[in-house]
Amino acid sequence: MKTDKTFYEKYLDKVCILLIKVEDIILVALLTVMITMSFLQIFLRNIFGAGIVWNDLLIRIIVLWIGLVGAMVASRKGEHISISIVSNFLTEKAKAVSNCIVDIFTATVCTVAAYYSLLFVKMEFTSGDVAFHSIPSWICESIIPVAFFVIALRYTILFFRNFSKLMKLTK
């Protein structure tokens, strides 16, 4: 089945796999930096009585990044926390319909959030605020629109998948 893919489709698949790997690596790297830096800070504070001034802020921004990148990864298969009272009692077909509705809803909400947080980041970019050391605020905040954009994209893809599943079921 996979052999009849064109060169471009294969290329696209490879890019997708690469992007997923990059996302995973970023997530693991963020946690590694967080553990190392927070441990280092305690070490410095208790042994030498002094720490890196901007370290605490860096760690707190990493918490935000971990949260949002983690949420991006969780969206790959739609593994977000939800209230699943009704879905347990639906038939296969009704479930596919409800999944389509849910996917399109999530994608829309995230697109709106991505757009308005992008405006916010743009505002911060022009203001030129500095978050810590020499890192501008807008870089730290940029993950917010990116995350919502990626989540919106993933739920759009999930929508198309569920939609084609629904089409198959109705046939």
| Residue 153 binding another protein, by CB under 8 A | no
Q: Quickly tell me which residue has 């203001």 as its tokens.
A: 127
Least Å from the CB of residue 14 to another protein: 21
| Residue 42 binding another protein, by CB under 8 A | yes
Residue 64 or residue 169: which is nearer to another protein going by CB? 64
| Residue 35 binding another protein, by CB under 8 A | yes
Q: What Cα–Cα distance (Å) separates residue 118 from each residue in 44, 60, 75?
A: 37, 21, 20
Least Å from the CB of residue 7 to another protein: 31
Least Å from the CB of residue 93 to another protein: 14
Least Å from the CB of residue 171 to another protein: 23
Q: Which two tokens stand for residue 84?
A: 């699943």
| Residue 162 binding another protein, by CB under 8 A | no
| Residue 78 binding another protein, by CB under 8 A | yes
| Residue 72 binding another protein, by CB under 8 A | yes
Cα dihedral sign, 115-116-117-123 = positive
Least Å from the CB of residue 113 to another protein: 6
| Residue 44 binding another protein, by CB under 8 A | no
Contacting residues for 166 by C-beta, under 8 A, at least 6 apart = 93, 96, 97, 100
| Residue 119 binding another protein, by CB under 8 A | yes
| Residue 63 binding another protein, by CB under 8 A | yes
The interface region with another protein, picked from 3-11, 12-20, 139-147, 160-168 by CB under 8 A, is 139-147
CB 133 within 8 A of CB 54: yes
Q: Which amino acid is at 31?
A: L
CB 78 within 8 A of CB 155: yes
CA atoms in the 13 A half-sphere facing the CB of 109: 7
